[in-house]
Chains A and B, each alone.
Chain A
Amino acid sequence: DAGVIQSPRHEVTEMGQEVTLRCKPISGHDYLFWYRQTMMRGLELLIYFNNNVPIDDSGMPEDRFSAKMPNASFSTLKIQPSEPRDSAVYLCASSLSSLAGAETQYFGPGTRLLVL
């Protein structure tokens, strides 16, 4: 398996523009997670999905952020309009559900976003 795939790997945009980040989870995984990582705030869980349904979006910073998972193999994180403080690395991860307990999350390489 190719692992979790994220695109683009790097994105530079201007303030006010719409940004769309994409994630393809590992085939067969039913959980998908979006994280944001910055030097100032560290790692933050933004939202996660189970079977394409958003379960917890309490980490989404504000209404400018939205995430969708239209099918089991694709998710998007959209920022509209973008602001310089959104500059960060956005990580996507996927995992399997398990009756035995927590399953390992597999992370993508991340999208490095710079908003000018």
Chain B
Amino acid sequence: AQSVTQLDSHVSVSEGTPVLLRCNYSSSYSPSLFWYVQHPNKGLQLLLKYTSAATLVKGINGFEAEFKKSETSFHLTKPSAHMSDAAEYFCFMDTGRRALTFGSGTRLQVQP
């Protein structure tokens, strides 16, 4: 069965410290994986995506994610959090033919 698990529903960091948002997936196929961000009262915006090219993917606003097949993970990281990063983050998986699965979201809080 296809599934995406975001391991933390809430993450709180201090401004200037690293961010780690965890996403694990389960799929019988080679997946494409996406991270989206949703700021309050806004739609979802693509941060980055993995589609079987380089395993380390760089996205917007300094975020990056590494696809690790052996660990079935696609964790999102950023070296230094900014107040504007406070939002909800979603991990999406597409196994082809638009077989879409997504996680339950991780709310990131950034403390001053």
Contacts and interface: CB of A to CB of B under 8 A. Distances in A.
Contacts, number: 52
Contacts of A50: 98
A104 B49 contact: yes
Contact of A102 (B36, B41, B94): B94
A51 B42 CA distance: 27
Interface in A32-47: 33, 42-43, 45
A interface bracket (residues with beta carbon within 8 Å of B): 20 to 34
The 5 closest A-B pairs by CB, nearest first: A102-B94, A102-B32, A107-B43, A107-B44, A101-B51
B98 A43 contact: no
B104 interface: yes
A91 B43 contact: yes
Interface of B: 32, 34, 36, 41-46, 49, 51-52, 90, 92, 94, 96, 98, 100, 102, 104-105
Interface of A: 4, 31, 33, 42-43, 45, 48, 50, 55-56, 91, 93, 100-102, 104-110, 112
Main secondary structure of the interface of A (DSSP, over half): strand
Nearest to A56: B98
Main secondary structure of the interface of B (DSSP, over half): strand
B51 A43 contact: no
A102 B44 contact: no
Nearest to A110: B43
Contacts of B43: 4, 91, 93, 107-110
A101 B32 contact: yes
Given A100-B51, A101-B51, A42 B105 contact: yes
Contact of A43 (B45, B52, B102): B102
Given A102-B51, A105-B92, A106-B46, 13 more contacts: A42-B104, A45-B100, A48-B98, A55-B98, A91-B43, A101-B32, A102-B49, A102-B94, A102-B98, A105-B44, A107-B36, A110-B43, A112-B41
